[in-house]
Amino acid sequence: MQKTEIQSLGRSLRPIDRKLLDRDREAGKERIWYQGGELYFDLFVDLRHDEIEWFQLTLRGRSISWHCQDKQWQTGRTNEFRSDDMTFYSASKIVESDRQCDREFFDLAGEIVGTRKGEALFDKLSQLFQTTRTKMF
């Protein structure tokens, strides 16, 4: 993917009203949701006391996620481009995990997040990609 397209994807991410997400959240935990300019381009981040607990980015039928509990990256494929009864309802995103983390998608997601340098949340995400990349590959 060309650098200009990556930058465009990063710039297209817009925050969704937190009131839609935080109704049933436990104390000290906050979910942040960004939607991108393409269909099925989403970024979800769970923060606990301002630290990343979990996050997931989906783009073009691919997914990458990380959770602080096991500190492992997981890539996979989403069902968003399928057209059966299960996927008709747009809130029914299912991720089928890859056997091994997809390095190419890991790098792409890290580059997209890196386009928002200077924004606190994206800086934390970038740091997560940078510090864990050396342990993975």
Report pLDDT digits (tens) over 92-114. Answer: 678 888 999 999 999 999 999 99
Question: Cα-flanking dihedrals φ and ψ of residue 129, to 5°?
Answer: -60, -45
pTM: 0.85
Rounded Cα distance between 75 and 56, Å, is: 9
Would you state the structure tokens that stand for residue 78, as one six-digit string?
């989403």
pLDDT exceeds 80 at position 26: no
pLDDT exceeds 90 at position 115: yes
Specify the pLDDT at position 79.
84
Specify the pLDDT at position 133.
75
pLDDT exceeds 80 at position 131: yes
Q: How confident is the model at residue 135 (pLDDT cuts 50, 70, 90)?
A: low
Q: Tell how far CA 41 is from the center of its chain.
A: 9
Rounded Cα distance between 1 and 125, Å, is: 20
Other Cβ atoms closer than 10 A to 136: 12
Per the model's pLDDT, the better-predicted residue between 90 and 1 turns out to be 1
Specify the pLDDT at position 121.
97
Per the model's pLDDT, the better-predicted residue between 117 and 72 turns out to be 117
Domain count along the chain: 1
Rounded Cα distance between 132 and 113, Å, is: 15
Encode pLDDT of 37-92 as tens digits.
998 899 999 999 899 999 999 999 999 999 999 888 999 999 876 666 554 555 56
Domain hosting 42: range is 3-136
Per the model's pLDDT, the better-predicted residue between 125 and 84 turns out to be 125
